[in-house]
Amino acid sequence: MFLGIEGQAQTVPVLFQESKPLPIEFAISIREVKKNLVDSVYFPAQLRYQTAEGRWDSLPVGVRARGNFRRENCYYPPLRVKMKKSDAANTPFAGNKNLKLVLPCQTSKDANYLIMKEYLGYKLYEPHTRYIFHTRLVNVTLRERQGKQIKTHQLLGFLIEDDDLVADRFDGKIRETTLHPLQLEDTTAITHDFFQYMISNTDWSSVISHNIKVLQIKPARNIPLAYDFDMSGLVNAPYANPSELTGQNTVRDRVYRGFCRTEHLVNYVRQRYLEKEDEVKAVINDHASYFSEKQLADIRSFVGEFFTTLKNDRLFKEAFIYRCRKN
């Protein structure tokens, strides 16, 4: 399917054309998966999924853990799921070879609430740019092998499309080496940096490409791709700590991490964000059923503070113009 976004045709796998959570099941040993530190080693599993008609089918996949912090500190590590394109053909996973599966960190009662806020972060970025990772909610039945015993976990999670699919969509490639942040395309870089400020995320770096991928598009465009928002103030996870480099007291203290650009360009992106305020509110409303009234009020208030800053010239300059990172 081809979707026209900002004048460019883009191929989006069928998996990410639906918003309804996809029910899936698989069995692994969490202990073995977390213990393995070799990225090339995948554990075999059968991924069962429910079709649109309501029947269940399966395909063979390989599974490994990803992410250093969550592998060490969480009960459920985020996973990379690998499959053959031939096996995925004619299934909801058609067109995919690699997927990231994000699961709750812990087994606490608010685990699904936290994972839903992390997913919401990806959706809140979509009104502002076409350079995104597509995502899909999944209702996961995880059967954990513990020796001869099987423990069943019912989880909410989400899938993230692979880097290479994003690159293919724009006839580009993912850059393997770092570059200076000012070599990133200016408007898209500022758009990215505004978003990270909106969700109060400082767990990223365009200097060392931490939680950021760089998409190269000919002739010489370097586009930042944002991912991994669990340490953000929007999510406000109990395990999230503010960075020692930013002077934050909590992860909800917003700090602008963008490098200084011309004030004209920064104000241009400011106006673009203000024009999207209603769309941002609509994204939150579209996912309201996943949250309690209290939780929803907190999300709306937190995101609303960002737009309050944008609308006030003094607050805006203090947050963005005076606090940008010097070269």
- The pLDDT, as a whole number, for residue 1 is 28
> Using omega within 30 degrees of 0 as the cis cutoff, is the peptide bond preceding 219 cis?
yes
Residue 182 has pLDDT above 70, yes or no: yes
Residue 7 has pLDDT above 50, yes or no: no
Span 94-125, pLDDT tens digits? 999 999 999 999 988 888 999 999 999 999 99
Find where tokens 């395309």 sit. Answer: 185
- The pLDDT, as a whole number, for residue 9 is 39
Between 186 and 5, the more confident residue is 186
Find the DSSP H helices in the chain.
30-35, 68-73, 85-88, 111-125, 163-169, 186-198, 263-275, 277-286, 293-311, 313-316
* Phi, psi angle pair for 210, to nearest 5°: -95, 120
Residue 2 has pLDDT above 50, yes or no: no
Mean of pLDDT values over 270-288? 98
- Which residues on adjacent β-strands are paired with residue 174? 215
Residue 8 has pLDDT above 70, yes or no: no
Mean of pLDDT values over 250-262? 97
Between 142 and 52, the more confident residue is 142
What global pTM score does this model have? 0.94
- The pLDDT, as a whole number, for residue 65 is 96
Find where tokens 């999924």 sit. Answer: 49
